[in-house]
C-alpha cells in the first residue's frame, strides 16, 4: 500500500512556520486591544487629573474672592464674634460655632439610631420585612432638604416648643454641668432644633452604609459565634464590629459631611442669629445658612468677600474632616492587618 513519507526535517519546519503564523495572527488581534487599553488608561488618567484641576480651581477662586475680607480683617476674622453689615465689621466665629455644634448634635443622635437600624435590618429583622424597611430608610435620603426644613418649621418646631423643650428644661436643665445647655425660652427654633433636623437627615446615609458593611461580614463567622453560645450583642460586638468598623466609620464621616454642608433645612429652623449662646434653645447660625441668607443682599464688596470667606472656611472644615477620616480608616486597616 502506498504511504506518505515526510522528508527528514519537514516536521520542525512546519512547526516553526505554524508558530510564526500564529504569532502574526495573535499580534494582529492584540493590536486593537493594545490601543483600546491605552485609550482607556489615558481617559481615566485625564478624568482623575480633571477632578484635581477642578478642586484646585475652586480653592483658588474662593481664595481670590475672599481676599478683600481676609486682607482687611486678617486672622481675627476667624475668631471674632461680630457680624455687622452696616459698619462693615465681620467675623466668622458665630457661624463656625453653629456649624460645629449642630453637626455634633446630629452625630450624637444619628449614629446610635443608625447603628440600631442597621443592626436590626441585618441581624434581627424578619425576612419579609427586611427589604421594605431597607427601602423605606433609603427613601428618606431622597427627600429634598427644603422639605425637611418646611416640616421642621411648621410641624416639628411648634411640637418641640410645647412639649419637648419644657421637659428638657425641667430635667436636664437642672443638672450642674450640662444644665445651661437646656435652659431658655421654649421658642421651638434654635441650635438644638437644627441639630435634631440634621440628625433625621443624616440617619438614612449612615444607616444605609452601616447596613451594607454589616451584610458583607462572612456568615460563617457569625454562625460560628452563635454555635459556641454567643448572644446577638456578643456577635455584633466581637465579630461584626471588628470586621466592619472601617466601613462604619466611613458611613459616619459621610453623614458628618452632609451635616456640615446642609443649607436649606438648617436655615428654616436655626433662627439665623449671629450670636453665640450657652443654651442650645437660643437661635444661632451656620456657615451655609449665613451664606444663603445674605449673599443676595451683599452689595458691598467687603460684605460679599466675607461671605465667600465663610465658604472657604466651610471647604476647609470639610477637607479636614475627610482627611481625618481617611487617616483613621488607614490606621484601623493597618492595625487590623498587623493583628495576629
Please choose, from the candidates 101, 108, 241, 273, the residue with its C-alpha nearest in 3D space to the C-alpha of residue 181. 101
What pLDDT is stored for residue 323 in this prediction?
A: 83
pTM strictly above 0.85: no
The C-alpha atoms of residue 290 and residue 292 are separated, in whole angstroms, by 5
Please choose, from the candidates 272, 297, 95, the residue with its C-alpha nearest in 3D space to the C-alpha of residue 190. 272
What pLDDT is stored for residue 36 in this prediction?
A: 84
What pLDDT is stored for residue 16 in this prediction?
A: 54
CB 299 within 8 A of CB 107: no
CA–centroid distance for 25 within its chain: 52
DSSP-assigned letters across all residues of 146-193: HHHHHHIIIIIHHHIIIIIHHHHHHHGGGSTTTGGGG-S---S-SHHH
How far CA 189 is from CA of 8, 82, 105, 186, 268, in Å, comes to 100, 22, 15, 8, 8
The C-alpha atoms of residue 35 and residue 76 are separated, in whole angstroms, by 56
What pLDDT is stored for residue 18 in this prediction?
A: 53
Q: Consecutive sets of 10 residues in the chain, 340 residues long: mean pLDDT of each?
A: 48 52 51 80 92 93 93 91 90 93 94 92 86 87 90 94 93 89 91 94 91 88 87 86 84 88 91 90 93 88 93 91 80 62
What pLDDT is stored for residue 335 in this prediction?
A: 66
What pLDDT is stored for residue 32 in this prediction?
A: 65
* DSSP at 271: B
What pLDDT is stored for residue 25 in this prediction?
A: 52
Amino acid at each position: 500500500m502506498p504511504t506518505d513519507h515526510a522528508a527528514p526535517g519537514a516536521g520542525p519546519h512546519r512547526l516553526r512556520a505554524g508558530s510564526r503564523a500564529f504569532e502574526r495572527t495573535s499580534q494582529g488581534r492584540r493590536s486593537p486591544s493594545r490601543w483600546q487599553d491605552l485609550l482607556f488608561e489615558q481617559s481615566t488618567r485625564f478624568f482623575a487629573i480633571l477632578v484635581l484641576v477642578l478642586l484646585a480651581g475652586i480653592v483658588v477662586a474662593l481664595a481670590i474672592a475672599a481676599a478683600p475680607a481676609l486682607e482687611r480683617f486678617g486672622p481675627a476674622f476667624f475668631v471674632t464674634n461680630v457680624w455687622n453689615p452696616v459698619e462693615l465689621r465681620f467675623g466668622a466665629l458665630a457661624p463656625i460655632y453653629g456649624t460645629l455644634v449642630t453637626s455634633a448634635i446630629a452625630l450624637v443622635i444619628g449614629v446610635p439610631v443608625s447603628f440600631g437600624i442597621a443592626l436590626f435590618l441585618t441581624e434581627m429583622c424578619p425576612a419579609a420585612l427586611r427589604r421594605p424597611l431597607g427601602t423605606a430608610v433609603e427613601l428618606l435620603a431622597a427627600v429634598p432638604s427644603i422639605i425637611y426644613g418646611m416640616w421642621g418649621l411648621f410641624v416639628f418646631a411648634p411640637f418641640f416648643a410645647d412639649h419637648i423643650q419644657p421637659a428638657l428644661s425641667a430635667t436636664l436643665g437642672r443638672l450642674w454641668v450640662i444644665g445651661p445647655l437646656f435652659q431658655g425660652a421654649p421658642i421651638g427654633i434654635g441650635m438644638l432644633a437644627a441639630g435634631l433636623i440634621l440628625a433625621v437627615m443624616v440617619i438614612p446615609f449612615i444607616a444605609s452604609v452601616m447596613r451594607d458593611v454589616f451584610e458583607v461580614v462572612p456568615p460563617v463567622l457569625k454562625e460560628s459565634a452563635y454555635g459556641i453560645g454567643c448572644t446577638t450583642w456578643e456577635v455584633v460586638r466581637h465579630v461584626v464590629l471588628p470586621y466592619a468598623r472601617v466601613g462604619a466609620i466611613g458611613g459616619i464621616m459621610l453623614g458628618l459631611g452632609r451635616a456640615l454642608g446642609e443649607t436649606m433645612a438648617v436655615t428654616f429652623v436655626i433662627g439665623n442669629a449671629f450670636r453665640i449662646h450657652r443654651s442650645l434653645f437660643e437661635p444661632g447660625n451656620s456657615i451655609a445658612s449665613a451664606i444663603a441668607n445674605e449673599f443676595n443682599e451683599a452689595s458691598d464688596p467687603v460684605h460679599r468677600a466675607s461671605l465667600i470667606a465663610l465658604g472657604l472656611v466651610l471647604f476647609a472644615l470639610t477637607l479636614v474632616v475627610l482627611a481625618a477620616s481617611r487617616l483613621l480608616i488607614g490606621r484601623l486597616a493597618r492595625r487590623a492587618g498587623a493583628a495576629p
